[in-house]
Structure 1
């Protein structure tokens, strides 16, 4: 359709050559498309001269072919790129939502695991104290109510996206819980000012460590060390009550340490846990004070900011 009128009637269809040039760029691999495109433009520039057309008319035909092909190629590719951009943006938004769901599930596990373990422990203690020490039992009931109320507050904070916890406060809570369980506690605290998301990550780590200790060990001694040195924050929890034969067969157990590793990895830190040579169980977590990672809600707020307009 481009060259037949030229060969039969010496008639030039200016736009047809441009459409052919654009189609070559769109449909063929670049290695073949661009040489053919160049050849077509040069052909529309020189062929009219062979049929006696003027140089100005030949230049006009060549330039028309050149520009029409480029415009057709550019507009079509732009449309394709816009479509790809919308698809990619939707996929990133879905990934952000999925990540937020996983984050919220981890938060609920970390928040409620320790609190429910503490309530269970203190309830058992109350059951034992009622016949012999009703006054102390009443005091423990008051603490159970306080823990339950704090758990409700924590869940509401998690649901609203404002999750900020204090490692120092969690150490005090852990001391109270371990004393109630008859565990001797030794604490070493040497901390400066911590960013809220760093403080929260280590507070949640301590909660999980206490949850595991209360649920899965028969510890009599526990050491908690929290220190800040050379730009790093380090938390170490050791106890002497690890049971080598323990295995929790519940289908939804065993996510706590994995959640903590995910949290600390996002901050550029790491978590290690396991038995030491002397038979103690040791959990060590560390992260830089100026963590490279973002606070837990940053990714979600990037795609779904408070004003409701996607980024």
Structure 2
């Protein structure tokens, strides 16, 4: 089973650490949906390309009608100007959204040319040619890169539309309507584009968060796998070595060790199945019993001291992981002949300390610098997430010491 398989099976984040049912359900829905859906959503969310603004060019039907009906003095010149207007309008809105051109000066220059042609046509022809200011406003909404630029371009454009309408004696309300419509058209286009980009950024951010959550889940699963199997495999190795040593002189004792190996293997298989299905709950008393058995089989004298009231399940689960990892380190790294496990609950806090008289768990021979292994780093993260702490290092009288502290609420419930 790979890490991705574990993720898709919906293993809860608190496997062995008392994760809440609500958190588990949320995580399962998250992983069952998968990050592929997010990739598909982003792929389907294509950026605006200006095509939605091109149909508005049909507004030139009004000015074209004026040319055909003979309302314009120089129809051939007005027709040529209207054709140039159409080309400039399409070029402006397309370059405003094109990846190649939108960050450069080309869209703005085309917009300026479009505005100049519009102003010339409106002043010389009037009537329906005044509606071309609205199309220029749409181009402004497409080209403007900020609200400041939008205001600086829309304000003079609307003023020019109103003044030109006044020159043709369009009446007060017609003049005001044209100026207001020109300003509002560009503003609406700019707002829609801004909202579109905001939605696209939000979906892209959600995709990044999904990928980050997948990476964190992979790390959590690998940490759980280490905590779950590291201790068990260490016990199996120790008991196998013990069986091999005593088999020549005491076959019954060796068979007892082999039976223990079988029991530990079956228990490990059960734990893996329970972890995959999301129902595993750590038991501190079980871990302490296993610790006694494993340390004794490794010829390590162990003393377990417990004091205080019973702990809530979540706290027991976390401390059970600490016992598992700490005892595994004593067996595999310390070379100790004696170990002590102390558990006490007082003042709203549970304290678990594991000490040994070995050479120090991870001290580099040349430097004497203590290095923290993967298991202890994972436990430190778990306890920190629950409001507790984990410290490890050389003990005062020699050997190695692991100390865990977790808050416990009054009444036996963990925070």
Q: For structure 1, which runs of at least 5 residues remain unmatched after alignment?
A: 291-311
Secondary structure in structure 2 of the residue aligned to 1:224:
strand
Q: What does residue 153 of structure 1 align with?
A: 270
Structure 1 position 148, deviation (Å): 0.6
Q: What does residue 192 of structure 1 align with?
A: 310
Q: What does residue 283 of structure 1 align with?
A: 402
Query: Is 2:205 aligned against 1:88?
Result: yes
1:98 equivalent among 215, 218, 222: 215
Larger Rg: 2
- Alignment CA distance shift 1:171-1:81 (3 Å): same
Structure 1 position 174, deviation (Å): 0.6
Q: What does residue 376 of structure 2 align with?
A: 257
Query: Is 2:393 aligned against 1:267?
Result: no
Query: Is 2:186 aligned against 1:75?
Result: no
Q: What does residue 9 of structure 1 align with?
A: 125
Residue 224 of structure 1 contacts residue 235 of structure 1 at CA under 8 Å; is this kept in 2?
yes
Q: Aligned partners of 1:257 and 1:138: how far apart in 2?
A: 34
- Alignment CA distance shift 1:200-1:37 (3 Å): farther
Structure 1 position 109, deviation (Å): 0.8
Structure 1 position 286, deviation (Å): 2.0
Paired residues in the alignment total: 283
Q: Aligned partners of 2:262 and 2:181: how far apart in 1?
A: 83
Structure 1 position 93, deviation (Å): 1.7
Deviations 1:69-125 (A, max 9, x none): 232122222322232233222222222222111111111111111011101111111
Q: What RMSD over aligned residues (CA atoms) do the two structures have, in Å?
A: 2.5
Secondary structure in structure 2 of the residue aligned to 1:268:
coil
Deviations 1:208-242 (A, max 9, x none): 11111001122222111223333333221111112
Secondary structure in structure 1 of the residue aligned to 2:396:
coil
Q: For structure 2, which runs of at least 5 residues remain unmatched after alignment?
A: 1-113, 366-371, 410-415
Q: Aligned partners of 1:90 and 1:245: how far apart in 2?
A: 40
Q: Aligned partners of 2:157 and 2:275: how far apart in 1?
A: 64
Structure 1 position 191, deviation (Å): 4.8
Q: TM-score, normalised by structure 2?
A: 0.62
Residue 195 of structure 1 contacts residue 289 of structure 1 at CA under 8 Å; is this kept in 2?
no
Residue 191 of structure 1 contacts residue 228 of structure 1 at CA under 8 Å; is this kept in 2?
yes
Q: Aligned partners of 1:229 and 1:50: how far apart in 2?
A: 89
- Alignment CA distance shift 1:33-1:215 (3 Å): same
- Alignment CA distance shift 1:62-1:256 (3 Å): same
- Alignment CA distance shift 1:52-1:231 (3 Å): farther
Residue 392 of structure 2 contacts residue 400 of structure 2 at CA under 8 Å; is this kept in 1?
yes
Q: Aligned partners of 1:78 and 1:259: how far apart in 2?
A: 42
Query: Is 2:213 aligned against 1:213?
Result: no
Residue 21 of structure 1 contacts residue 65 of structure 1 at CA under 8 Å; is this kept in 2?
no
Structure 1 position 201, deviation (Å): 2.6
- Alignment CA distance shift 1:191-1:219 (3 Å): farther
Q: Aligned partners of 1:228 and 1:80: how far apart in 2?
A: 55
Q: Aligned partners of 1:31 and 1:174: how far apart in 2?
A: 70
